Amino acid sequence: MPMRVLIVDDTNTDRLLLKLHLSKLGYRTIEASNGQAAIDQFLAHSQDLDLILMDVQMPFMNGFDAVRSIRKIQEQQKQEWLPVIFLSASAEDDDVEDGILAGGDDYLIKPISQKVLSAKMLAMQRIADMRRRLVESNRVLEELASTDYLTGVANRRAFEVMLDREMSFVRRYGSSMACAMFDLDKFKVVNDTYGHDAGDAVLVEVVNRIKGVLREEDIIGRLGGEEFGIILPKMPENELIETFERYRCVVAEHPVTYGDIEIPITASIGVALYSGNKENKIELLKRADDSLYEAKETGRNRVVYHPQ
């Protein structure tokens, strides 16, 4: 997609010349004839704008003030960087400095040489592309840092962030949520009997089975090894046991098929309900963990919940 450029100039002929030149180079253009119109165009097209060419001397609101406002909006809305090139008949050092301080990235002196403008546009496009790649790499890194490599669900760090968020929703809006820990039973035996790869396949399959019965707003994360956490927002207490019994059954009802072997598997689940008391996430997880411990101690393949 070619770059989209906002041309801001109060002189119609200057605007037209720029538009013709940029169109010839294959850029898409939109226009504004004063500072306020530039801000309006920016607000209307900020998702699809790659560069602003801004005249400096304009009546009512000059180019510097318009760019200051645009930069402020970008900062408030946490928008990506958008290059701005000022165009001005004034070549004073102070003006160039003011332009850069106002949020401009370059400053060209009118009359503008088409060659220089083309070269500057190319340079800005290069920087914009580089920045876009950087933003994308950061997004991928952030995803990697919050995802469990084997099962693709949230890792412990990301799970705890979401747990914090859900707990504060409960405190703010009332209602209650479930926080559970579930742990595969005798999983060491699975690894020892069928091998580590088979164990990995069991972990992936169990997560897929649970994901298959979760609602869209529910959250599952891998807390470590063969231990997982589940958050069920807006969960009333009277549906708690029935819901987690369903998850327990979904794990236990069929063995996991790995190649031509069938691996029977069960899980123990410890559940805690959170209704907005002063507890923090560590204390809530500890309550779920205590119930999980009890489920293990009392025979495994079961759900344990103690009302507070």
CA separation for the pair 31, 19 (Å, rounded): 8
Rounded to whole angstroms, the maximal C-alpha distance in the chain is: 85
CA separation for the pair 93, 117 (Å, rounded): 20
Q: Of 80 and 197, which has the nearer Cβ to ligand GTP?
A: 197
Give the type of residue at 19.
Answer: K
Please state the closest distance from residue 116 (CB atom) to ligand GTP, in A.
59
Pattern of binders to ligand GTP over 184-203, x per CB under 6 A? xxxxx--x----x--xx--x
Pattern of binders to ligand GTP over 10-49, x per CB under 6 A? ----------------------------------------
Segment interacting with ligand GTP (CB under 6 A) among 81-89, 178-186, 208-216, 232-240: 178-186
Tokens of 81: 């960087």
Residue 230: count of CB within 10 angstroms of its CB: 22
Give the type of residue at 15.
Answer: R
Q: Where do the DSSP E strands lie in the chain?
A: 4-8, 28-32, 51-55, 84-88, 106-109, 177-184, 219-224, 227-232, 256-258, 261-263, 267-274, 303-305
Please state the closest distance from residue 300 (CB atom) to ligand GTP, in A.
6
Q: Of 199 and 221, which has the nearer Cβ to ligand GTP?
A: 199
Q: Of 106 and 200, which has the nearer Cβ to ligand GTP?
A: 200
Which residues within the stretch 134-163 sit at the binding site for ligand GTP (CB under 6 A)? 150
Please state the closest distance from residue 159 (CB atom) to ligand GTP, in A.
16
Which residues within the stretch 206-265 sit at the binding site for ligand GTP (CB under 6 A)? 225-226
DSSP 185: T
Binding site for ligand GTP (CB under 6 A): 150, 183-188, 191, 196, 199-200, 203, 225-226, 296, 300
